[in-house]
Structure 1
Amino acid sequence: MHFIWKHIMLSQRNEFVRFALEQGVLRFGEFKVKSGRLSPYFFNAGLFNSGAAVGRLAQFYAQALVSSGVPFDMLFGPAYKGIPLAATTAVALAQHPDLAGRDIPFAFNRKEAKAHGEGGTLVGAPLQGKVIIIDDVITAGTSVRESVDIIRAAGAEPAGVLIALDRMERAGTDQQLSSHSAVQEVSQKYGMPVISIASLADIMFYLENNSELAAHQQSVAAYRQKYGV
C-alpha cells in the first residue's frame, strides 16, 4: 500500500512539472534571479494567469495538502500572491473527494489597514483553529513570518505552509552559503511542516526522463550541486 501511495505522489509531482512547463511558468535557459545568481531554470507562478490554469493549479495545491496528512481547519493567503491561491484552493478542497464535503474557510490580509467599513487588515473568515499559510514559493521567509504573526495575534495556530515549488536552494553569497534552504529554515524556526506540490528534485527527475529537455539536465544538476540542499 505504501508503495502504491508513493507512486501516486510521484505521478502527481511529475504531472505538476509538466503542467508548469506547458503554461510557461517553468522555463529553462539562463536567468538572473533576485539573488543575483544565474539560474538554469526560472519558475514564476504569476504566469498561471487564466481561469483554467488557476483552477488546475488549485487542484494540485488541494491534493498536496490532503496527501500530506497535516491537520488543518482553514487557509490563509498573504497579500498579494496568496490571495487568489487561498480562494481557489478553498474551492478545490470543497470539491475534493477525500474531504467528504467539508467547506474550508479562508482569509487573507491587506498590505494597508482599511480605515472605513469593517476596517483592519484582515478579510474573510475569522482566523481560528489550525491555519495553513498558502503561497507560491518561499524565498526569504518574510511573508511566512508576517503571516505567522497575524495568525498568532488572532489566537489561531499556524499549522503549516503550502507552496507550489521547493527550490531546495541555500541562500547567501557563493563564499558564505547558508547551511539550510529557506524552506528548511522556515520549518525549523516555526516548528511546522512546509508542504510543496513539487521540488527541484522533481524537476531534475522530469529532465532525466524527457529526451526533449535533456540538454538542460547537466546545467540544472550543476546548479543544484553548487547551491542545493
Structure 2
Amino acid sequence: MKRKPKSLIKKFVLRLFAALFCIIAVVFLVFGIKGYSMYRDAVTACPIPQMVSSIQSRENFVEYEELPTIYIDAVISVEDKRFESHCGVDFIAIGRAVWNDIKAMSFVEGGSTITQQIAKNQYYTQEKKLERKFAEIFTAIELEKYCSKQEIFELYVNTIYFGDGYYGIYDAAKGYFGKQPSELSDYEAIMLAGLPNAPSAYSPSTNPELAYSRMKIVLSKMVECNAITQEEAEVILTDGK
C-alpha cells in the first residue's frame, strides 16, 4: 500500500509528458503545414534558380575564390560550424534553440544555418513566427539541392548586411577598409566576419570597442572549431592594434 502514491505520481508524470508531446506534435504539424504553404508560394513567385541568378549577376559580386581563407573559416566558425556537413538545416542547433526558447518562454535563439539565413533574407520577413521558420527550413533544404556549398557561401556573403549601409562583402571591405575583399588582412577579415550578427551595434566606424569585443568572440569560436590555434588568435589581435 505504501508504494501506491509513488505509482500514481509516476503514472501522472508519464501522462503529463504524453499530453505535452501530443500538444507539441499537433503544434508542429499545424505550423509545418502553414510553413510549407508559405514556402511553395515563395518559390513559385520567385524560383530558386531565378533568385540565385539575380544575386550572381550583381555588380561587384565576389566569388568564393576571391575570399580570404581566414574569412571563410571565421564566418563558418561563428555562424554555422556544421555548414559543410548539414543539409541546409542544423537539427542539433535547432534542438538547442527550441530548448532555450521554451525555457525563456520567448524566441531568444533561432538556430539558423547560413543557408536558412539566405532563405529568410531573400524570401521572408524578419518576423519571429513559427510558420515562417518552417518555410525557411523548407526553402533552405531546396536551396542546398540546387547549389553547392561554395555557391551558398557566396550568396550569403554577397547579400548579408554589414552595417553603415554596406550590403555584401565587397561594399563592406571597401567601405570600412578601402580594400578589395582579397586584400583584407587577417584582422580585418575576422572583424568583418563578426559584424552581421548585429551590424549596427558592431560597426567599426561607430562602435570600435564593441567591434573589437565581437572580433574576440569570433576568434574564440575559430579556436574552438580548430580553424586556428590560440597562439595564432593572439597574434592576429596583436597585429591589428
Q: What TM-score comes out, normalization by structure 1 length?
A: 0.28
Q: Which has the larger radius of gyration?
A: 2
Q: Say which structure is richer in strand.
A: 1
Q: Say which structure is richer in helix.
A: 2
Q: What TM-score comes out, normalization by structure 2 length?
A: 0.27
